[in-house]
Structure 1
Amino acid sequence: MIVYRSLLFVPGTRSDRFGKAVAASADAVIIDLEDAVLPADKDRARSESLTWLGAWRGRHLGLRINSPRTAFGCADLAALAGSAAAGRADFLIVPKADTAVDLEIVAEALGRKIPLIPIIESGRALSNAFEVARQATGGVLFGGVDYSASLGADLSDWDAMLTARGMIAAACGAAGVPAYDVPYLDTSDTDGLAASTRKAKAMGFSGRACIHPDQVSAVNAAYAPSEAEIADARAILAAMEAAGGGVALHKGKMIDRPVILAAERLLASVRST
């Protein structure tokens, strides 16, 4: 399974920006047919996006469809099912995934396997987080904007969103899929973006969505391991190898299986970037 540090959204109505978004150094780009598109523009956005996808020959490009519980979502699925261009997408973002059934509908409608990344953005969805994560073949995205609005909570208050982030991280950990954090809405606040991204990383989030190209470098940097972390991971594996399978210590602490796995995962992330 591919794990992305940064996922950059681009409106489905702005096909002139698709190429620029791809060139913005994000790990993946998501063409958005949902929130970024007005109802009157849904058909045009769908048509233009699929046309562009049909000519796409690169990788790491996703598509956010409308909720399969809506008429727009059903139209998206019908168009995707009948279009060879849909095969160019590396994953689909499924918004408002309140239950695992939403993902089953999408998978069955398309009739083929494609990684699905549901968005948990309501109290109902959060209550089903573990069930949804088990069906999420590409990871789970925290839809904090809609979630906070449904609760009357403050998205910018880290503590107010702590329970939701913790449950999503735990559900993704149990399912073995990456958790992706909500976009940071203040595109001019680079320091705030970097700080909150580091907090999300510490909680177990693997990456974050971005709404502006200028956010990509800060998110990528926050998820990139430091030279000290890389050296530490290498030292852990070297100590384990030197012990020949026996008890090994690193900086006075015993090295156990979770520590080894964490070191291997960190070094693998370095090799994949």
Structure 2
Amino acid sequence: MSRIGRQQHRSFLFVPGNRPERYLKAWESDAGAVIVDLEDAVPIEEKDRARAAVANWISPERPVLIRVNGLATPWLEEDARVARLPGVAGVVLPKAANASDVAALLARIKRDIPVYPLIESAAGMWNVLEVASAPGVRQLMFGTLDFCVDMGMTLESGTLSPFRADMVMASRVAGIRPPVDGVTPDIDDDELLRTETVEGRKWGFAGKLCIHPRQAPVVNGCYAPSETELAWARRVLEAFERANGAAVAVEGKMVDRPVILQARRILEEDEPEA
């Protein structure tokens, strides 16, 4: 069940804003967080109805994120009003290109609220450290499909690796959470979803966007430490504690500070989402 606080989430599930009958199902799914989408998923003629549906449904007992329409659109002002309501735990900003975009969004919302900028363009990627460092940013998200269109790239294995590395590094330098990877459009291909999720984790991402509830358990499982990793981490920390500051080896490898930090991080990742 979705809970949005300060903990790290592994899966972020989009639900169309114009489909209120899906809100509760999404919120009760295995997704770590739900994003009610007022942007791409909603046709122009249904924007007002979707916004009203979100405003009527959300509450502090059912916290969600919302993806607002872009800064240059005529719908943002009304979206910003919804973002002020209790129950909106954060705002996903589409097509974030620089720090001023984040500032402009917060100025319209007039509320201290976490922002999740979507990096979906060459401009956003070029300025990714600036965006990550902007006040209010909680975590970057990678809009892989739109990014590939903007760049004229084909979405194939490995093509986005350099950009994933850029986003992870920018997040680290800015002191925010590792980023969230883009969607896998094929909702029936669990193997493809698993492959793409593992690829994102390999590059340092901390979660993935989902477009169907059935994708969330796969994503959660891929980002959760394996039993082998957990056992190794426990052995490392136990050996370190027993050594009491002396040099120690585990499985023939010296245990130094980076190894200890890695072991602690693995065990922290195993903590359940609350």
What TM-score results when the alignment is normalised by the length of structure 2?
Answer: 0.92
> How far is 1:120 from its partner?
0.2
Q: How does 1:203-218 map to 2 (within 5 A)?
A: 203-218=203-218
Aligned to 1:89: 88
Secondary structure, in 3 states, of the residue corresponding to 1:30?
strand
Aligned to 2:61: 57
Aligned to 1:172: 171
The residue identity in structure 2 corresponding to 1:58 is: R
The answer to whether structure 1 residue 71 and structure 2 residue 67 are counterparts is: no
In the alignment, the residues of structure 1 paired with residue 206 and residue 268 of structure 2 have an alpha-carbon distance, to the nearest angstrom, of: 13
Secondary structure, in 3 states, of the residue corresponding to 2:112?
coil
Q: How does 1:1-273 map to 2 (within 5 A)?
A: 1-54=6-59, 57-59=61-63, 61-81=64-84, 86-135=85-134, 137-155=137-155, 157-176=156-175, 177-273=177-273
On the 8 A contact 1:6/1:208 being kept in 2, the answer is yes
The residue identity in structure 1 corresponding to 2:131 is: V
> How far is 1:272 from its partner?
2.7
Secondary structure, in 3 states, of the residue corresponding to 2:133?
helix
In the alignment, the residues of structure 2 paired with residue 250 and residue 104 of structure 1 have an alpha-carbon distance, to the nearest angstrom, of: 48
Aligned residues: 266
In the alignment, the residues of structure 2 paired with residue 212 and residue 92 of structure 1 have an alpha-carbon distance, to the nearest angstrom, of: 20
Q: Which runs of 4+ in 1 moved over 4 A?
A: none
Deviates more, 1:166-175 or 1:3-12: 166-175
> How far is 1:175 from its partner?
2.1
Aligned pair in 2 of structure 1 residues 69, 248: CA closer, same or farther (>3 Å)? farther
In the alignment, the residues of structure 2 paired with residue 75 and residue 266 of structure 1 have an alpha-carbon distance, to the nearest angstrom, of: 42
In the alignment, the residues of structure 1 paired with residue 259 and residue 154 of structure 2 have an alpha-carbon distance, to the nearest angstrom, of: 36
> How far is 1:79 from its partner?
4.1
> How far is 1:129 from its partner?
0.6
> How far is 1:115 from its partner?
1.4
Secondary structure, in 3 states, of the residue corresponding to 2:92?
strand
Secondary structure, in 3 states, of the residue corresponding to 1:125?
helix
Aligned pair in 2 of structure 1 residues 255, 15: CA closer, same or farther (>3 Å)? same
On the 8 A contact 1:7/1:26 being kept in 2, the answer is yes
CA RMSD in angstroms comes to 1.6
> How far is 1:220 from its partner?
0.9
On the 8 A contact 1:3/1:178 being kept in 2, the answer is no
On the 8 A contact 2:97/2:121 being kept in 1, the answer is yes
In the alignment, the residues of structure 2 paired with residue 181 and residue 162 of structure 1 have an alpha-carbon distance, to the nearest angstrom, of: 11
> How far is 1:4 from its partner?
0.9
> How far is 1:127 from its partner?
0.1
On the 8 A contact 1:141/1:179 being kept in 2, the answer is yes
The residue identity in structure 2 corresponding to 1:95 is: P
On the 8 A contact 1:5/1:207 being kept in 2, the answer is yes
> How far is 1:73 from its partner?
1.7
Deviates more, 1:178-187 or 1:250-259: 250-259
- Structure 1: give runs of 5+ residues left out of the alignment: none
On the 8 A contact 1:8/1:212 being kept in 2, the answer is yes
On the 8 A contact 1:117/1:137 being kept in 2, the answer is yes
Task: Provide the identity percentage.
Answer: 37
1:130-168, CA deviations, whole angstroms, 9 ceiling, x for partnerless residues?
A: 11112263211000111111122112x022222222211
> How far is 1:173 from its partner?
2.1
Aligned pair in 2 of structure 1 residues 75, 16: CA closer, same or farther (>3 Å)? same
The residue identity in structure 2 corresponding to 1:32 is: D
In the alignment, the residues of structure 2 paired with residue 246 and residue 70 of structure 1 have an alpha-carbon distance, to the nearest angstrom, of: 61
> How far is 1:250 from its partner?
2.1
> How far is 1:48 from its partner?
0.8
On the 8 A contact 1:63/1:92 being kept in 2, the answer is yes
